Amino acid sequence: MKKSIIVLAILLAGLIVSCETSGGAAGGGAAPTTVIELAAKDAQLTGDCKYEVGTDRDNVGWWVDPNASASWTFDVKEAGEYACVVSWGVDDTYAGSTISVTVGDQTNEFIAKSSGNWGKWRSMTIGKYNLVAGKNTVKVMAPKMAGTYAFNLHAVIFQK
């Protein structure tokens, strides 16, 4: 599991305040052999949210609509079970929104706990997904917002 956290820290190239996991890579603790990182800047956005860039920003933010979403369509070379890590920032005032991550008919939800502030990234393994070889689409939403703003989404990472 420690190797997975180190690889994740290198991939995010940002400040990670804390890292929570529900296990290592999808294979059970070994370092991942396949890593697919989906950056905020590449997301297709719908609803009331926008991409932010600048000092302490590289994220989808201003997330004020529970119907807003960030989506990526990406290629997978090898089908199988992939662990999904989400990286986000949110301050203490707005922490607590429920975030959903959906691939096909598979959905996992988590609570966006505080990272300390909007520009510090917290990362967590939120569950596993069976990805198909070829095109896959992942969609992130904040269906239950704890305040006016949901969170700042930095990246979604799949690892096998």
In order, the DSSP letters of 43-100 are -EEESS-EEEEETTEEEEE----TT-EEEEEEEESS-EEEEEEEEEE--TTT--EEEE
Which three-class secondary structure state does DSSP give residue 7?
helix
Q: What is the DSSP string of 97-123?
A: EEEEEEETTEEEEEEE---SSTTSEEE
Give the max Cα distance, the chain: 41
The pLDDT of residue 98 is 98
C-beta separation of 97 from 111 below 8 A:
yes
Q: Which parts of the chain fold into alpha helices (H)?
A: 2-12
The pLDDT of residue 10 is 36
C-beta separation of 149 from 113 below 8 A:
no
| Mean pLDDT, the chain cut into blocks of 10 residues (160 residues total) | 40 39 50 94 98 96 97 98 98 98 98 97 98 98 97 98
What's the number of CA atoms in the CB half-sphere (13 Å) around residue 110?
22
C-beta separation of 75 from 86 below 8 A:
no
Tokens of 73: 């369509």
Domain boundaries, the chain: 2-159
Q: How far apart are CA 160 and CA 5, in angstroms?
A: 13
Rounded to two decimals, the pTM is: 0.83
Which CATH number applies to 2-159? 2.60.120.260
Q: How far apart are CA 113 and CA 95, in angstroms?
A: 5
The pLDDT of residue 19 is 39
Tokens of 69: 């979403």
